[in-house]
Amino acid sequence: MDKIVDLINEKSDNKFPFLKTLSISYNKKTLICVISFLFPQTLNEISSNQKQIIYDILNNSLKLNAKLILKFRKSFLDEDLIHSKIMEFFKKNYSSLFSVVESEDVSITIQGQFVDVLLKISSNYLNSFDKNNLLMELNEFLLKNFWAQFSFHFSEGRVLNIEEIEKQVFNEKEKKIGDIRFVPRYKVFDVSKIIGQEISPEPEFLQNINQPKTSVILAGKIENLNEFKYIRQKKGQDVEKTYFKFVLREKTGAKINCIYFCSKSNYDKFKKLVDGDEIVVVADISKDYKSLIGKVKSISLCQLPEKLSFNKVENVRQFACIKPEKIVTTSQKNLFTKDIKYDDNITKNTFVVFDVETTGLEVENSEIIEIGAVKIINGVLAEKFQTLVKPKQKINYLITDITGITNQMVENSPPIEHVIKDFYMFTKNCILSGYNVGFDMKFISKSGEEVGLIFDNEVQDVMALVRQKVRVGNYKLSTVVKALNIQLTDAHRAYNDAYATAKVLLKLSEINS
């Protein structure tokens, strides 16, 4: 995404160094490309003239076969928002750390564009992590969401019994072996969008939500709907804002308190809702003192079913459409000679190193078109999983230019709802790994959830390992494999990228004889 801002500054004599690309989305059905930018709160709003300059540069340079829409968002430094992003980072990237860090263990101080983060974590637990790498990853994550300069400090937190924590984690893993975890869902009918995005897939059961979670789909009846006002400063002036509170009650009787911060443009739409309306929403679930609260982002009217029943996915017991293959190479005999030893991370775990190719960058409106994966057993590249995937919508020519994957190539390929079940079986009881694997995990997790499967594997990012051990001009996979003398052919094809990444992982895990 940084290339977008680089292009703008290159064509404008560096007039917009303060911009960051926040997101890029492309709707293949409407042929609309939306690029959102972030700029610091210390600046005034982006002027109409500046917006026009940026639009002209991108429209002329990208030559998209689509309508281009630009959005600009000021980076407001709010303690609660930064706090929630830090907890989100721990949950996604350091799940074991997330399990012991409580809300009060994170303190944030804001002075202008400088943000100081104090983390209270017991040293006997923190010592099991690479602190420098953790803070580097956290800083990169926050910089993608805020325009600020972050500094981080640790202080001694609660004393933790490491053996007890490890035993607890081990027991949880043992309990899950052989099990299929699913997200029970149910159907709603006559869905009509009111605010935000089109809502799919089906809603989860509210009675099963017992902890914070992002972008949850829920449905129920509105109760106790009330409107509130609050004052917020904007450009040094007090501005009156509106928010609504209501209870969302599911047909099971379960309920959750919801809040919706309403913009002026959505006020009239929301005011049409009344107690008793049946709605489906997308909400971020957070913990407010002892209870959960849903911060609503999108709302649609719907008709709830008369009775609720679990929509379980059938048990996945064997490979249905994509069967793994043994990896046989003539070079493998020379690669894994007796004098090559690997660290415990490799020898004591089984890895699936994978990569996906997709129709776009945003998981909400893009699809997987290829999955490629390599299984590493005892330091040996043992099995491969490779398939093209037929998307529901046509592949844009821009994606074909990048990946070489055409609509004709995927025409007779299986759909993702079949492929993802086989991939789930292939990855069972393995550590999932990849290069900048967070991007790929978003697509795999979403595809899994849509058929009721949860990929709760441990995840390790090879790019993070590379940043620790390799010094190169940039950290693109193509640059890294060249520096390590590893061959990468046909980059941007999933299996080839996964195979090269697996070799990188092994190379950096070698123990010198």
Question: How far is it, in rounded angstroms, from Cα 19 to Cα 8?
Answer: 9
Whether 83 is catalytic is: no
Task: Choose, from 83, 153, 418, 492, the residue flagged as catalytic.
Answer: 492
Q: Do residues 167 and 201 make contact, with C-beta atoms less than 8 angstroms apart?
A: no
In angstroms, the Cα distances linking 411 to 371, 408, 439 are 16, 5, 25
Number of Cβ within 10 Å of residue 70's Cβ equals: 16
Length of the chain: 513
- Closest to 357 in 3D by CA, of 366, 348, 369, 347: 369
Structural tokens at position 365? 């409106």
How many Å apart are CA 220 and CA 205, to the nearest integer? 10
Task: Please name the amino acid found at residue 46.
Answer: I
Cis peptide before 40 (omega within 30 of 0): no
Alpha helices (H) in 307-387, listed in sequence order: 332-335, 344-347
Quick one: which H or E segment has residue 395? none
Pairing verdict, β 431-434 and 351-358: parallel
Instruction: Write out the DSSP string of 405-432.
Output: --HHHHTTSPPHHHHHHHHHHHHTTSEE
Q: Which whole-number Å values give the CA distances from 396 to 7, 253, 254, 392, 416, in the listed order?
A: 22, 45, 43, 12, 18
Question: Tokens 């953790």 appear where?
Answer: 134
Residues 6+ positions from 501 with CB-CB distance below 8 Å: 353, 355, 433, 434, 435, 462, 477
CA distances from 437 to 119, 132, 154, 422, 479 (A): 25, 20, 27, 19, 17
In order, the DSSP letters of 266-323 are HHHHHHT--TT-EEEEEEEEEEETTEEEEEEEEEEEEE--SS----PPPP--S-SS--
CA distance linking residue 104 with residue 229, whole number of Å: 28
Catalytic residue numbers, as ranges: 492
